[in-house]
């Protein structure tokens, strides 16, 4: 039986809580991960069991390292919107990736950018990382737009394999110095 998860808050933004999962999040997360449109660029819909396994992995990573693809909750009404956070990728073990996945009703409201920006701030000010990457399929224009709004730029293109399937990826990156300049430019 899964332990009771209490949703420890990792970061906050004006509109969002970025937190560990609650047990009540799991069916909502599974519904998000089973949505073909949401999962189009993540290898397709996954089962409830696979979705729960991702949440388990994220919780363990957060406990061990203070990072993880954690829950995104809207502060105004406590709605579970999806997930966002930092994690390790097997393809690029020397880097940390930032990733996000939101349920369709919450697309287009700036939530992914807001959550990812909070995680980048954490990455560069608390964790003192030298750079952060983000990987997606080349046709995933919504995620690429978020990467650009975060100040990330194309690092390289690659053909990657996951679960026996290859896909054409674009890897965006931002260094700590680029992030500092991007935010200094925003402030002026």
pLDDT tens per residue across span 106-126: 999 999 999 999 999 999 999
Burial class (CB in 10 A: 0-12, 13-18, 19+), 92: middle
Q: What pLDDT band is residue 3 in, cutting at 50, 70 and 90?
A: low
- Per-residue model confidence (pLDDT) at position 4: 64
Q: What pLDDT band is residue 1 in, cutting at 50, 70 and 90?
A: very low
Of 129, 133, 135, 115, nearest to 69 (Cα)?
Answer: 115
Q: Per DSSP, which regions of 13-119 are E strands?
A: 16-19, 68-74, 80-88, 96-102
77 pLDDT more than 50: yes
Summarize the confidence of residues 90-100 as an average pLDDT: 96
Do the beta carbons of residue 40 and residue 10 sit within 8 Å?
no
Task: List, in order of start, the domains of the chain with CATH numbers.
Answer: 9-187 (3.40.630.30)
Tokens standing for residue 56: 């388990």
pTM of the model: 0.94
Q: Per DSSP, which regions of 25-183 are E strands?
A: 68-74, 80-88, 96-102, 131-137, 153-162, 165-175
pLDDT tens per residue across span 8-64: 999 999 999 999 999 999 999 999 999 999 999 888 899 999 999 999 999 999 999
Number of CB atoms found within 10 A of residue 60's CB: 11
């Amino acid at each position: 039986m899964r332990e009771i998860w209490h949703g420890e808050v990792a970061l906050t933004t004006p509109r969002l809580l970025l937190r560990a999962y609650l047990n009540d999040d799991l069916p909502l997360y599974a519904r998000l991960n089973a949505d073909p449109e949401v999962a189009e660029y993540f290898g397709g819909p996954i089962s409830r069991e696979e979705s729960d396994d991702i949440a388990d992995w994220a919780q363990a990573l957060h406990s061990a390292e203070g990072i993880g693809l954690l829950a995104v909750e809207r502060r105004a009404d406590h709605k579970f919107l999806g997930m966002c956070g930092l994690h390790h990728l097997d393809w690029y073990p020397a880097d940390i990736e930032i990733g996000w996945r939101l349920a369709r009703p919450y697309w287009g409201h700036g939530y992914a950018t807001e959550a990812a920006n909070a995680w980048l701030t954490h990455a560069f000010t608390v964790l003192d990382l030298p750079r952060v990457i983000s990987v997606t399929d080349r046709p995933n224009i919504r995620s690429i737009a978020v990467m650009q709004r975060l100040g990330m730029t194309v690092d390289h293109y690659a053909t990657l394999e996951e679960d026996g399937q290859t896909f054409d990826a674009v890897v965006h990156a931002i260094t700590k110095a680029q992030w500092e300049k991007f935010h200094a430019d925003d402030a002026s």
